[in-house]
Amino acid sequence: MKSLVRYNPIGEEEKAAVMRVLNSGCLSAFIGAWGEDFHGGDEVKGFEKEISDYFDVKHAIAFNSLTSGLIAAMGAIGIEPGDEVIVSPWTMSATAVAILIWGGIPVFVDIEKDYYGLDPIKVEQAITENTKAILVTDIFGHGAKLDELKQISKRHSLRLIEDVAQAPGIKYKGKYCGSWGDIGGFSLNYHKHIHTGEGGFCITNDDDLALKMKMIRNHAEASIVNSPLTDLVNMVGFNFRMGEMEAAIGREQLKKLPKLLIDNQRKAQWFYERLKSNENITLPRVEENSGHAFYVFPVQLAFSKNDGFLAGLEKLKLPGLVSKYVNVHRLPMFQHKKAFGKGYPWSMAHRDVSYDIGICPVAEKLNDENFIGLLISMFDLNQSEVNEMCDLFEKALSEILNEA
């Protein structure tokens, strides 16, 4: 099929916003010391206010990436060397690495295959006296089982942190993803629903966590002097600050989010209509009173993709094909337990945490055999183009099934 038009949410509003910043001459107003400019410039502060209003939370903290935001979140909740944090293997590597930065030990727990989020039953089984937090990813655009995970976190006095990179503006059972836990983190990377090129933000209703994240964002070791914060735990500073241009773009992007989500959901509905009658695939599910951002349109096959189906799709050059998803525990860092120096932070672990192949059978089997994703959020698809993509998909499916 012909080349598809890359999704581009940037318009005249963002261009005008950038010019507003350039004309002001102020590209950043952060100072790494407590005082008037500790919180950044007018655009950053305006963006944070608009985010908090959108999600109906007390605090929003803008970062230069969600990776930075997750690192700050892990620091703010007080993760120390040897502390265990339960995390999904079915996520971007930065989710787990944010734990390592503070000496924490990621404990990978398997997913449930309907919505690809952490399996609450397996989460509860994995909790030990060393567990300090659950870091859950709302993957592909649908919330994990956040109500159950919230109950588990309360029952065991654990922090619950959400990585909502792929589900901005989506509600799970009537409540925004990102607002179920103590902190929710969102990505503004260039291939997300809304973006500032690079960037991210976290939201929270906890005053203390908000201030600690702002400290870590902006040279905490210096900024804490003369501040109202007296707790020195993890007050090691970074420069995770967002610039004024990125914030100005973000303010315009946030306004567009509801419409952009509707547009993406319309594309997904076209895929549903074309593929719903095929008994050899399972299409994505959406829980009652919940939404889906469809960052990826995930499909599960009733057979192994390695039997020629994947090769057929690649030969047909199906656009936006995601043939695998990351199993983070399989990365060399975790297989060899080497991150900092010759073995830190595992040298500080209270027990031997396993990263053996086989510890997350659902995630591993999906990755290796049954999962195919379509990155429909990357393209401005019309219904005709969706039909062409479905034609390619069904052609490859027909060929492999006829051979069988």
Domain extent listing, the chain = 12-253, 257-325+363-403
pLDDT band at 242 (very low <50, low <70, confident <90, very high): very high
Q: How are beta strands 175-176 and 171-172 bridged, if at all? A: antiparallel
What global pTM score does this model have? 0.96
Amino acid at 404: A
pLDDT at position 125 is 98
Q: Answer yes or no: is pLDDT of 1 > 80.
A: no
**Per-residue CA distances from 145 to 79, 139, 148, 173 (Å):** 24, 11, 6, 10
Task: Supply the mean pLDDT for the chain.
Answer: 96
Give the per-residue pLDDT at 404: 53
| pLDDT classification of 153: cutoffs 50, 70, 90 | very high
Q: For residue 396, what pLDDT is reported?
A: 92
For the chain, the 3-state helix, strand and coil shares in percent, each to the nearest 5, are 45, 15, 40
CB-based contacts of 74: which residues, under 8 Å, 6+ apart?
Answer: 85, 98, 99, 101, 102, 104, 133, 135, 161
Q: Does domain 12-253 have CATH number 3.40.50.2020?
A: no
Q: How confident is the model at residue 339 (pLDDT cuts 50, 70, 90)?
A: very high
| Cβ 127 vs Cβ 156: under 8 Å | yes
SS3 state at 45: helix
How far apart CA 320 and CA 6 sit, in angstroms, is 10
Quick: pLDDT tens for 15-53.
999 999 999 999 999 999 999 999 999 999 999 999 999
Per-residue pLDDT tens digits for 360-397: 999 999 999 999 999 999 999 999 999 999 999 999 99
Q: What is the pLDDT of residue 403?
A: 66
- Please report where in the chains the tokens 């390695």 appear, as a residue: 306
Whether 12-253 shares its CATH topology with 257-325+363-403 is answered: no
Task: State mean pLDDT over 335-339.
Answer: 97
Map tokens 């390592």 to a residue.
100
Q: Measure CA 184 to chain center.
A: 9
User: How far apart, in whole angstroms, are the C-alpha atoms of residue 282 and residue 303?
Assistant: 11
Banded model confidence at residue 63, pLDDT cuts 50, 70, 90? very high
Using the 8-state DSSP alphabet, how is residue 366 labeled? I
Q: What are phi and psi of 136, to 5 degrees?
A: -105, 140
pLDDT tens digit sequence for 79-91: 999 999 999 999 9
What the block records as the tokens of 102 is 């503070």
> Which band of pLDDT confidence, cut at 50, 70 and 90, is reported for residue 329?
very high
Q: Which pLDDT band holds residue 231 (cuts at 50, 70, 90)? A: very high
Side-chain half-sphere exposure of 28, counting CA atoms within 13 A: 14
Where does 257-325+363-403 sit in CATH, by number? 3.90.1150.10
- Answer for the pair 345, 294: CB distance below 8 angstroms, yes or no: no
What is d(CA 124, CA 311) in angstroms, rounded to the nearest whole number?
Answer: 39
